Structure 1
Amino acid sequence: MSKSVWPTCGGEAAALVRTKDWSRTALGPLDTWPDSLRILLEAVLRAPVSMVLVWGDDRTLIYNDAYARIAADRHPQAFGGSVRDAWPEAWDFNREVFDACFAGEERVFRDAHFVLARHGVPQDTWFDLYYSPAADEHGRICGALSTVIDTTARVTAERERDRQEQHLKQANADLDALRIRLENLNQRLAADMDFLNTLFRQAPSFMAVLVGPDHVYELANDSYLRLVQHRDVMGKPVRAALPELEGQGIFELLDRVYRDGEPYHGRNVDVLLDSGDGAATERRILDFVYQPLKHADGQTYAIFVEGIDVTGHALTEERLRVAQEAGEIGTFEWFPNTGKMAVSDAYRRIWGFAPDTEITAELLVEHVHPEDRHLSGPRRLVNDDNPIGYNEYRIHRADTGEMRWIARRGQSMRSTVAGERRYLGVAFDITERKRTEENLRQAEAALRELNQSLERKVEQEEAGRFKAEDALRQAHKMEAVGQLASGVAHDFNNVLQIISSNLQLMELDGIGPQAAGRVASAVAAVERGSKLSSQLLAFARRQPLQPVVTHLGELIGGMESLLLRAMGDRIAVEIRQNAGLWNVRVDRNQLENAILNMAINARDAMDGSGSLTIGLANAPHDATLGGDHVCLSITDSGCGMPPEILDKIFDPFYTTKAPGKGTGLGMSMVYGFVKQSGGEIKVRSRPGEGTTIAIYLPRAAGQVLAEEAAADTAIPGGHETILVVDDDPAVIATTTEILAGLGYRVLRAGNGQEALAILGSGLPVDLLFTDISMPGAVDCASLVRQCRTLSPRTDIMLASGQLPDASFDEELELLPKPYNREQLARAVRAQFGGPADPVTARPAHPVQALEPNAGGQRILVVEDDPDTRELACELLAALGHAASGSASAEQALALLKEHDIDILFTDLNLPGLSGIELANRAMASQPALKVILASGDGHSTRIPLASGMAVLPKPYDLPQLEMSIAHVATTLH
C-alpha cells in the first residue's frame, strides 16, 4: 500500500489523517508512524461505533467519524491534539483512566456522567465507556483504545421520569433539609470567618494583603500595624501610606513581584521606618516574604506580605559578630558525619586559608602539628563525649607555614537533621600568650637557679609596687582633703579679715588703755587663726607663696642657732652639705617653718635626747622625679613609726601627740608646701630605727638675691581712686574705711556686674582691688579681662584667702587674707609705684593687770595660752570675782597649796598634766574646791554628775561664764 493514499478507507476522519500536518504534533510526520499505530488507527477509522485512539506520552487524540459527532463543535480542532486540550473539564477523569490503560489495565464505565461544553454551553452528558490498552509490534503499551457510546438521551429520559415521580414526594423534605443545611453552613461559615479573622489579626508575625499594581492595603493584622506605628494605611497605596520607604528599594521590589509573579524571600533586610513622631526614622531588620496571589489563569492580582521583626536578634548577632571580629575570635560549625565545616572569616584568617578555600575537618587536621593531632576533634571523636572541649595546640598556617598556637573550645549542639551530629565552637590565636608563658617558664627556671637574695629582691620589688599603689591612693585622698581644707581656709580667712579690720579700726577710733589691751589680745588671736588658716592652705597647695632663688646651705646655716635652741642640750645637731650644691626656687619663710616643724617633731620622737642630722645633696636626673633636684633630708634617732602610723603621717589633723599638744597640721602643711613648690617628699621609718624625711626641690637657675632691708615703719597713704569689689558687705565696709583713713577716694561694688558698670561709666579708677572668689555672672577672671579693655590704665590687685588657679595672670599682685592695715597700705602703695604721704598709726595700749576684788569668788585660771589666760581673768574681774592666772598644771598645784582658792578654772588640754588630772589632784587635796573645765571639744566632754565640776565649751561669752560659776558655786559634793 502506498503511503501517500493511506488510510485507504473513506470518511472525514480518514481524510483528516491524510491531510493534517503531523510534523507539528508529538506523533511526527505521517510516513514515520509505526505499523502498529497504522493498524490500530485503520481499525478505529473503519469501526461503525464511535472509537478513539489515544497514543503516546502526550496523549494524542485520534478518532473516527462517529466520535466526531460526539465531539460536536470541538471537531476538528480536537483531532490530533492532546486529550487534556480537547476535554479540559474532564481531564482529571481522563488522566486517571489513560494512566491506568498505559499501565496495562482495562476500564469500563456505565453511564459515566460528564459536563461537556457543546455549542459553547456546558451540558450534562452520559456515556458507556470501554477502555483497553494498545500495544505496538514489540508488545509495549503505547496507547489506549476507547469505545464511546452516548447514552445521554436514555439516561436523560430515565432520570427525567424518575425525577418527575419523586419531585412532588421529596419537595418539602428537600426544602427543609436544604434550609437546615444552609443554616448550619451559615453558622459554620460565620464561625470559620471569625476564627480566621482572629487568627489573622492576632498572628505573631506581621501580615498584610496588597491589591493591584498600586499595592493598595486590603488587609493588615495587628503585628503589621504595630510595625508601622498604627498609621491609617487601609485603602491606601503603599507609596502613600509609607512614604519613608522611597529610595529603599521596597517599592521596586513589590512592582517586580507583581509583574513577574515570582515570590520574594528577604532575610535580615534593613528598613528605615517612621518612628511615630513623623520627624525621624528608626532602623528595623526584617525577615519577610512577598507571595503573589493569582487568579486561575495565572494572573497576579495581589501580594500577600508575611514576616517577622528580627531587629533585636539581628542586632545581637551583629554585636556578637563585631566582637568576634574585633577580638579575632573565629567560629566554626562541624558536621562529623560528612566532615564538612562552616567557618567565619576570622577563623580563616587564624589558619591562613583563602576566602574561597573549602574547609573540611581533615584539611584542618593536616595543618595541625603532628605532635598535637591527637588533640584535634576528629582524633577524639570516638573516645570523648565532647571531642572539641577546650584544648590548645600548634598549627602550621596554610599561607605562610608559620607555626602558631591556637585555643579551641566548643560543644555538641542539636542538628536540624535527625541523627546528625553537629558541633559549634570558637578558636583564637594564643601564640603571644604561649610565647609569654614560655618566656615566663624560662624566667622561672632561671629564677630557681638564683639564690635566696634574688628571691628577696623580687619580694622587695613587689612590696615597692604595693607601696606605689598605696602612695597613689594616698595622693588621691590628700587631693580630696586638700580641696576641702582650701575651701574651709578661704571662708575662715574672710571671717578673720572682718575681725582684723574692725579691731584695727577700733584702735584708730581711740579707746582706753584697758580696751586697748583687749583689742591687742584679739588681734593676736586673729594672727594665730591666720597661721592655722595658712597651714590649711599650705596642705591644700593653695597658699600664696613668694618663691625666690635660694641656696639651701645658706638657709640652713642661718637657722643653725635657732635649731640648736629648739633641740636643747641633749640633742646633737649635725649639718652635712655636699660641695657644689645647686640652687632651688622656694619661699624661704615657708621652708624655714617646715624645717623647724620637722625638727621639733624629731625632738619629740627622741624624747629630748639623741641626734639630728640635716643633709643637703644634689639629686641628679631621676625618672621617678623628672629632672635635677636638691635633696634636703632630716634624720633623727627617735622611736620611729610603724607602718600604720607612717601611712597617715600627712593626713590633716592626725597626730600621735597627746590632746592639746598639736593640731595635726604640721606635716600636712609641709606636704602641701613641698607639692606646691613642685617637689616631692619621702619618709622612711621603722620602729626603733628612727625616721628620715627627704624633701626633693627642683633645681633652679639664677643667682641668690640678697635679702631686702627692713621696710619703713611709716604707713603710706595717698589720694588716688580705688574701686573695692567683694561679695561680703562686712569686708567691703572695713576695707573701705581703712583705705579712706589712708587718704584714698574709695568706690565700692558688691559683685562683678556692679564693678563693670562703674568702670564703664567713665569715672577715673586708678586701682581695681577685687576678691578672687566672686559669685554671679561675672567672675573675677572675667572682671579682670574686661577691666583691661574698659580702663586700660587702671592697675589691678587681687585679694584672696587662697591661691588662685592657673587661669589668672601671674603678674597680678595678690594680697593674702587676712591682711592688716599696714599690709594693705603698703600693697596699695606698691601698685602706684612708690611712697606717698605717711599716715601715723596710733599704738595699741598694753593690757593692765587687774587687782583682786574681795567681793566675789577667788578663782585660779589655768591656761597655757597667755592671751586666752589674760582675757579670762579680765572677764572674771568684770563679773566681780578675784582671778589670778597660771600657765601650767604643775604651777597651779603649787599655787593651790599657797593660797585659798574657791574655784579652779582650767583648760582641758594643758602641756603637762591634763585639766582632768589637775582637777582630780586639786580636789583630792581640797575637797571643797569647785572646778570649771574649759574645753575646745565643745559638749563632747563628759564628767560624772555631782562631781563638783562643770564643762564650759569654747568659745564662751560673759553670760555663759557667769552661769557656769553660779552652777558650781551651788553644787554640793
Structure 2
Amino acid sequence: MPLSFFSGGGETGDLVRSYDWTSTSLGAAESWPQSLRTTVSTLLLSPVPIVLLWGEDGIMIYNDAYSVFAGGRHPRLLGSKVREGWPEVADFNDNVMRVGLAGGTLAYKDQELTLYRHGRPEQVWMNLDYSPVLDEEGEPAGVLCILAETTERVAAERRRAEAEAAVRESEGRFRALVNASSDVVYRMSPDWTEMRRLDGRGFLADTEEPSVLWIERYIFPEDRPRVRAAIDEAVGTRRAFELEHRVRRMDGSAGWTFSRAIPVLDGGGRVVEWFGAASDITERRNAEAALAELNATLEVRVAERTAELQRAEEALRQSQKLEAIGQLTGGVAHDFNNLLTVIKSSTDLLKRPDLAPERRERYVAAISDTVDRAARLTGQLLAFARRQALKPEVFAVCDSVRALFDMIGTLTGSRIRIMTRLPPAPCFVSADPSQFDTALVNMAVNARDAMDGEGELTISVGAVDQIPALRAHPAVPGAFVAVSIADTGSGIPRDRLEQIFEPFFTTKGVGQGTGLGLSQVIGFAKQSGGEVMVESEVGRGTTFTLYLPRVVDGVRPSDDSAHEPLMDGHGMCVLVVEDNPDVGTFAVQTLSDLGYRTVLAATAEEALTELATDAARFDVVFSDVVMPGMNGIDLAREIRRQHHDLPVLLASGYSHVLAQNGTCGFELLQKPYSVEQLSRLLRKVATWQRRARIMSQ
C-alpha cells in the first residue's frame, strides 16, 4: 500500500516507498514510529547528503544527494546494515553507532577515509556531523549523519602545498647549484635590454646588477654584431639562444664564453623573461687553436712525407718495371735464341752442296716447325697483353681435350697421372681453338711445376649457368663451359693468388722462361668474354677453372680449304700494300711464284692513288694492317666505300685496332704466314669476288 506519510524525495524517495522493509528489522513502513517517519520525510527533502542509521544495526535510509555520494553502491546500500554496506570503514561506523545510540554527537572536519565507490579504492575527505534521533519515549533510536565531501579542496590544497615545497626545495638546490657553479647565471628582460646577474660571482668583469649596458660591458666590439644578430633571431622566433663569443674577463683579458638562454612563458604564451647561463670556454678555445696550429703543422709534415713516400714508391715501381722487363727479356731471349739456333743451324747445313735430299727436307721441316713455335711464342705475348687478334670459332671442348691428352702427358712426364672427367654430351664454345689449346697446355705445365713432376692432374669439363663472383666482381649469369685443371701440388699462398696473373710474374729463375703462361690464360679468357678462377690450399693442391661462353647446339663449320693444294694465280692482279720493304718484296716474289701479277704500294695513300688511276686492273688488295698514317683497316673501309666489289685481304702480326675492334668483316692472314695459307685465302677472296660479280649480273 502507498506510504502517504512521505512527501517528495525524488528517485531515492520512490525507492524508499517501494522497498520491502519487512525484510529488515524495521518491519513494514506502516508500523514505523512517528519519529522515524518524520525523520525520513525530512531527509528525503534535503538537498545535502543525509543518511539515517536506524536501530542497533544501523539500517540505512538516505536521500538523493547521498545516493550520488554512494556512487556504484547505490541502491544496494538502501535498507542494508551500515557495517555491511561500508565494510572497509566498519570500525569507524561502529564507533559512530556506539556514541550516537548513547546520546552523543560527533563532528569531523576533512576526515580522510578510503572507500570503494566505483569498484576501486578511493581516498576521500569529508566533513561529517553525527547526531542522535530520539524515539517517542525520548530515547536515542538512530543516528543522523549530514556529510559534505571535501576531497577536491583537500587534494588541491595538498597538491599546492607539495608544489610549494618542491619549489622551495628546487629553489634551494638551484641557489646551491648557482653558488657552486663557475658559470655566470642571469635573467634577461623579454627584449634583452636588461640583465640581472644571479650568481654574484663568476669570471666576467663586474657583478653590478641590474645592467642595461651589459653588451658594452661584457662583449668585445668585434663580436657585438654577431651577438645582437643572435639575440634578434631568438627574440623573433622565441627559440633558445646559443652562441660562442668573446667577453671581457674579471682581469680585463679577453676570454671566450658559451652563452645559452631559454624563454620563460606565461599562461598566454608570452615571453616574460629569459633565463640563461654563460660558461667560460677560454681554455677549450685556446686548446682548439693550439690543436689547429699543430694539425696544420702536422698536415704540412704529412704532405711532405707523403710526397717523399710517393717518390720512393715511384722509384720502386720503376725498379720493379726494370726488373720485370729484364726478366721478360731474359725469358724471351732464352726462348728465341733456342729457336734461332735451330733456324741458323738448318740454314748453314742447307748451304752445303753435297747435302742429301732427305736431309735437306729434314732441315727445311725443322725451319718450318721452328717458325711455327716462334709464332706461338709471339701469340702468347700478345694474348698476355690482351691484344691478340683472336679467331673465334665454334668447337667442342671435349674433342680438344681428348686431342691434347697425349701431348699433355708428354709435357708432364710419366710420374704424373692424368685423368679426365668429360660429360657425355658435347660442350660447344665460341673461342679461338688454337689459343684454347695453348691455355690448356699452359695450365697443365703450371700444374706440373707445382707438383714437382709427380702427382695427379685432373681435367674436368662441364656446362654451368654462371661465372661465380671472384676478384671483387659480382657473379655473371649466362651459359658457359667450365674447364678445370686440378693438381695435387704444393698449393699457392693466399697472399700470392692475385700475383700469379700479373705481368711477368714467375717463380722461375731469370732466363728459364718468360712467365707468361697464366697471363696468356687470363688474357685469352678476358678477350673471349670469359674468366679464370683459381682455388688453392697450401699443401693440398690448386684448381684453375677457365670459363668460356657456351654455344647451345653448336655446329662446327667444315673447312675443306685447309687440305686444298696451292692454287695458281692465273695472272690475277694483286695490289700489295706493305710499308716494310723486305716483307713487301718477299710477298711480291711469293705471289709471282704462284702466278699472280703484283703492284707494290708502301703506304695506304699510295694504294688509293693506284686505285684512283685504274682500279679495274686489280682483282684483290693484299694489305698490311699496321702502317704509318692510314692503317690497313681504314684503307679497307675506304676501298669498300669507293670500290665495293674489290675484295681486301689483310695481314698482321699485331694490331691494337684488331685486338679491340676485330677485323670489321675483312679476311685476316696472321703473320708469320705460310705460302699455303696465303694461297688459300687469296683463292677464298677471289671466289667471293666471282660470286659477287655473278650475283650482280
TM-score class normalised by the smaller sequence: 0.3 to 0.5
TM-score of the superposed pair, with normalisation by structure 2: 0.48
Which protein has greater RCO, CA pairs closer than 8 Å, 6+ apart?
A: 2
